[in-house]
Structure 1
Amino acid sequence: MAYRRLSNQSLVGVLIVLVGVVLLVDTTGLYDTGFLLTYVPSLFVLVGLYALVSSDFRNVGGPLVLVTVASAWQLVALDVVTVGRILRFWPLLIVLVGLSIALGRVRPSVAEVDDDRFDLVAAFGGLDRRATSKTFTGGNVTVAFGGGELDLRDTLVPAPPARVNVVALFGGVDVVVPRDWNVRLDVLPVFGAAEDDRPRREAEHDGVDLVVTGFCAFGGVTVTN
């Protein structure tokens, strides 16, 4: 029997659902989950570390700040240290921002992805990828509290349409496509926008090369060339 690996996007969705269930159980009085809520900061620490690793340490600034703040928050929640003592170290945030700027200058800003399918996640930072596969089929892009750009101009789709699912929460994603591609945009915006900014639109020629689906909240998804 073949098993399909759970995508990063699915993992993020499952994580959000679990947090929502814990909060719902607590607010409705079904069970006291206060002891679980005490460890919520650790969840943000894991998210920051995951964002560092999944970006191949290209996205450094936002995740480092998130890990630092969430770690301090967790120590306070566990009564290990006081808020006053933590506040003494606020200049550390300035140091982290400076390091992220310095590291950003020595690392390439755009990374190539040559897989037929990709599964990209960026949290509290940026994501810039250029796909180069000549047998491109699609992928997933998840951005939270940040922005991203996915460049598909160097790809070929032998069996159209390719499908890209985008989830943007408090951030935006730009999908850059070749000029001759016909793109169908089927993204649900909530307090956000999903737009095709290209001069050529779906109704102007036959066939569909790319279908962009997904969801955006307090952010946007834009198709451009």
Structure 2
Amino acid sequence: MDKPETSNKRVYFGLFLIVVGSLWILERLNLIPAFWNDILISWQMLLVGIGVFSIIGGNKTTGIILIVIGSFFLIPELTDIPYQLRRIGWPVLIVAVGVILLVTQGSRHHRPEMPPNYSAGDKQQPTGSDYFDDFVIFGGREVYVDSQNFLGGKTTSVFGGTEFDLRQAKLSENGAVIDCLALFGGCGFKLPPDWTVKNEVTAIFGGYTDKRGSSLNHIVSDPSKTLIIKGFAAFGGVEIKYM
């Protein structure tokens, strides 16, 4: 049986697809004025829509950033921007993203958010290496994780890629949950051979690939060591591998 949280995400995602499909139908039937057609059926609105879906899915920081970027590039479609303002457009966008990161990170310091699979009764207290929150845009990063009480994390790749090497890590008693967002980018994970991986990634023009099958041969996964990988991939992908 699906967990309520997973079921709710599917409902929201279904509504999102209904809205997108309906707008597309109206556009094909020429029922949307040309002006609004260029705005509603655009890559900018796609970013805004994915941002809204990310917030609903619990990835607030990434969702807000995507909405801001999509809205920023929509402004020239809605009104004429004076030359002097257009010259400072990119710096303003960079500052806005920086402010969002500072504000959201600051709120976490005041109200620490524990991983969803962490229990107050766990024998080990979480440390900084047990749970990661990674964000990459227009770049790449390789991260080595050797936590002996790994709880999971959040990773966002926008026009970039991240790869996590978890082969020396050990899962917490309750397993681990990793929330991924891959937008025109990718997230890769190198895992121990005996981990059981549960896929809850939603993909649009993207994909989820587990390449461990050809590498593990006779190694049997351990159900008590379960890693849940969830999230959203659009024009990107999430990849699992052993080597």
Per-residue deviation, 1:24: 6.9
The 1:114/1:224 distance shift into structure 2, 3 A limit, reads farther
The 1:20/1:187 distance shift into structure 2, 3 A limit, reads same
8 Å CA contact 1:47–1:123 kept in 2: the answer is no
Per-residue deviation, 1:206: 3.4
The 1:188/1:47 distance shift into structure 2, 3 A limit, reads farther
**Which residue among 185, 192, 195 is the counterpart of 1:178?**
192
**Residues 13-162 of structure 1 correspond to what in structure 2 (within 5 A)?**
13-20=63-70, 34=81, 38=86, 39-46=88-95, 115-162=129-176
Distance 1:146 1:44 in 2: 18
The 1:207/1:43 distance shift into structure 2, 3 A limit, reads farther
Q: The residue matched to 1:209 in structure 2 has which SS? A: strand
Partner of 2:210: 196
Normalising by structure 2, we get a TM-score of 0.52
8 Å CA contact 1:160–1:210 kept in 2: the answer is no
Q: What runs of 5+ residues in structure 2 fail to find an aligned partner? A: 1-58, 100-126
The 1:47/1:129 distance shift into structure 2, 3 A limit, reads farther
Partner of 1:211: 228
Normalising by structure 1, we get a TM-score of 0.56
Partner of 2:241: 224
Structure ranking higher on relative contact order (CA contacts 8 Å, 6+ apart): 1
The 1:172/1:47 distance shift into structure 2, 3 A limit, reads farther
Partner of 1:109: none
Deviations 1:132-187 (A, max 9, x none): 11111010111111122111111111323200011111111111110000000111
Q: What runs of 5+ residues in structure 1 fail to find an aligned partner? A: 1-8, 51-112
8 Å CA contact 2:171–2:225 kept in 1: the answer is no
Matched AA of 1:156 = K
Per-residue deviation, 1:26: 8.3
Distance 1:26 1:138 in 2: 40
Identity among equivalent positions (%) equals 30
